[in-house]
Amino acid sequence: MLASHSAILRFAFCSVLLLGLIVRGSAAEAADAKRLNVLFIISDDLTSTALSCYGNKVCSTPNIDRLAARGTRYTRAYCQGTYCGPSRASFMSGYYPHATGVLGYISPRKAIGDLATWAQHFKNNGYYTARVSKIFHMGVPGGIEAGTDGADDPISWTERFNSQGPEWKAPGDGETLEGNPDGKKPVVGGNTFVVVEADGDDMVHSDGKTAKKACELLDKHKDEPFWLGVGFVRPHVPFVSPRPYYEPFLPYSKMTLSPKVPGDWDDIPKAGINYKTSVNMKMDERRQRKAVGGYYASVAYMDAQVGKVLDALEAAGLDDSTIVIFTSDHGYHLGEHDFWAKVSLHDESAQVPLIISVPGKQPAVCDSFVELIDLYPTISGLCGLEVPARLQGLDIAPTLDNPDADIRDTAFSVNGKGFLLRDNDYAFIQYGEDAKGGIELFDMQKDPKQYTNLASDEKYATVVDRYKARLTARLQAVRNNDLSAGNGK
């Protein structure tokens, strides 16, 4: 009898244990089934003002627009470095450039050691992670021509893929716009303003190959959680796209240039004059108009590739289980202040497009200040992952439910020479921690295009002192990873 009773107890215990394992297994499977995927799409050197969803009436971007129509579009998103390497190292590492020391074109791995990058954090939590083309810094056009990895971080990825392309060597009609006043210079490589109306179709070029590989990966990995980074290199120079993308912008003479304001540079410190200008590039008005048209054609080509990826996401049945992010590493000047390209700390260079589409969230437009460094903690939290305490970004998820939520009152960015504090009232730019390189102060309510530097006006002396103190506090907080002070909230 006792033996029989013991057998019954053992059977009951085993049954409960088995049931527990089944329940836990089912719960784990359910949790995995609910895990959101991440599709991170980034364009290189893209100003938000070139996108029709941000108000451009000349350059049509229907595919980015359709993402904006279903997601939250941020009107005041800022990068943390206004050139490629530091910006990408920052949002992928979760640290500001002055915390990592990554102010050049290197991987953040030396600075963050064993700490996980954004993609690596997902990989460590069971996600398939892959990058296609440029996520960390990669030389354009050189790295694209060679098909090399650039300043990549291999630990971040389950797999990685490069998308080789001919860049400025593409067959077609090309012209070097920079440093070519007599028109005799041939088409050249490097970080040079070149327009090539290219022969052949989308697949001749890097971004066409990137879109194709991304589509393949979406289909291949649709049944497992993934973090997929898709890095398009256009509209980074050279402005190279298949001929059909140029047609809406021809003749180039119809392209409108930004206003030229006499004496615009007179009140700007030498350090504030951008590294590329109409003057030092020797670009006359004809070439400037062609540069704008070539840039827009590159944007249109990139937008078409974004459309292919979004179509593949839908075809794979992943729309309802994937967070989609679209952004750029920094903005871009198209002749404003006679500046071209990136690096400056003016809004055209520091502000970026940012669209986040999350399943179940309503479309919206958010005017809160946000930063690219906020993506790592925000997306981790949305996917149910632990948010590492070390991260220097903020969780902007509340804006996805309430677009009127204020996450930050100030954005912070750097360019290797100086620092930007940008809030609702002023844009404060200081060159050097001791301000020996000069200061710029713009009233963003009265002077949103930043034409009048108020820094030397005695009436604004207390304002300048206030922002200098805020910048000092912000830099100290960043370096100490203590964002309880000066963190923009």
Q: How far apart are the first and last CA of the chain?
A: 72
Closest-CA residue to 192 (of 112, 102, 287) = 287
d(CA 279, CA 339): 9
- Asked if residue 368 belongs to a domain, the reply is yes
Residue at 316 is within a domain: yes
Which residues lie closer than 8 Å to 315 by C-beta, 6 or more apart? 219
pLDDT at position 210: 98
Give the model's confidence band at 470: pLDDT under 50 very low, under 70 low, under 90 confident, else very high: very high
The answer to whether residue 370 is domain-embedded is: yes
Question: How does strand 37-43 pair with strand 226-232?
Answer: parallel
pLDDT at residue 89 greater than cutoff 50: yes
pLDDT for residue 392: 93
Tokens of 309: 């990826």
Confidence class of residue 113 from pLDDT cuts 50, 70 and 90?
confident
Q: Is 436 exposed, middle or buried (0-12, 13-18, 19+ CB in 10 A)?
A: exposed
H/E element, 196 = strand 194-198
Over residues 415-446, the pLDDT tens digits come to 999 999 999 999 999 999 999 999 999 999 99
Give the per-residue pLDDT at 112: 82
Q: Which residues pair with 73 in a beta bridge?
A: 355, 365
CB 111 within 8 A of CB 85: no
Domain assignment present for residue 415? The answer is no
> Which pLDDT score is estimated for 21?
37
Tell me: the pLDDT tens digits for 226-255? 999 999 999 999 999 999 999 999 999 999
Residue 117 has pLDDT above 60, yes or no: yes
Are the CB atoms for 405 and 351 separated by under 8 Å?
A: no
Residue ranges making up the domain that contains 67? 33-408
At 271, list the tokens.
Answer: 């350090």
Q: Is the pLDDT of residue 365 over 80?
A: yes
The confidence band for 487, taking pLDDT boundaries of 50, 70 and 90, is low
| Per-residue model confidence as pLDDT tens digits over 304-329 | 999 999 999 999 999 999 999 999 99
Verdict on whether the full-model pTM lies above 0.85: yes
255-273 pLDDT tens trace: 999 999 999 999 999 999 9
Q: How does residue 480 score in pLDDT terms, banded at 50, 70 and 90?
A: confident
- The verdict on residue 426 lying in a domain is no
CATH number (domain holding residue 107): 3.40.720.10
Instruction: Read off the pLDDT of residues 48-85 as tens digits, 9 standing for 90 and up.
Output: 999 999 999 999 999 999 999 999 999 999 999 999 99
Per-residue model confidence (pLDDT) at position 199: 98
Average pLDDT over all residues of the chain: 91
pLDDT (tens digit, 9 = 90+) per residue, 381-391?
Answer: 999 999 999 99
pLDDT beyond 80 at 483:
no
Pair of tokens at residue 129: 């992670």
- CA–CA separation, 44 vs 295, rounded Å? 12
Active site residues: 84, 137
Residue 271 lies in a domain: yes
Q: Is the pLDDT of residue 303 over 70?
A: yes
Residue 14 has pLDDT above 60, yes or no: no
Q: What is the DSSP letter of 434?
A: T
- Count how many Cα atoms sit within 13 Å of the Cα of residue 348 in the half-sphere of its side chain: 19
Cα distance between residue 277 and residue 44, in whole Å: 20
- Sign of the dihedral through C-alpha 455, 45, 246, 304: negative
Q: Domain total for the chain? A: 1
Q: How far apart are CA 407 and CA 488, in angstroms?
A: 8
Q: What is the pLDDT of residue 207?
A: 98
- Position 61 scores a pLDDT of 98
User: Stretch 214-221: mean pLDDT, rounded?
Assistant: 98
Residue 356 or 34, more confident: 356
Residue 19 belongs to a domain: no
pLDDT score at 172: 98
Tell me the pairing of strands 364-371 and 410-414. Answer: unpaired
Percent of the chain with pLDDT over 90: 85
Average pLDDT over residues 213-217: 98
> What are 198's strand-pairing partners?
172, 242
**Measured distance CA(367)–CA(156) in Å, rounded:** 32
Q: pLDDT band for position 106 (50/70/90)?
A: low
Is 430 contained in some domain? no
For residue 34, with 0-12 CB atoms within 10 Å meaning exposed, 13-18 middle and 19 or more buried, which class applies? exposed
User: CB neighbours of 29 closer than 8 A, spacing ≥ 6?
Assistant: none
C-alpha R_g of the chain: 25
Is the per-residue pLDDT at 202 higher than 90?
yes
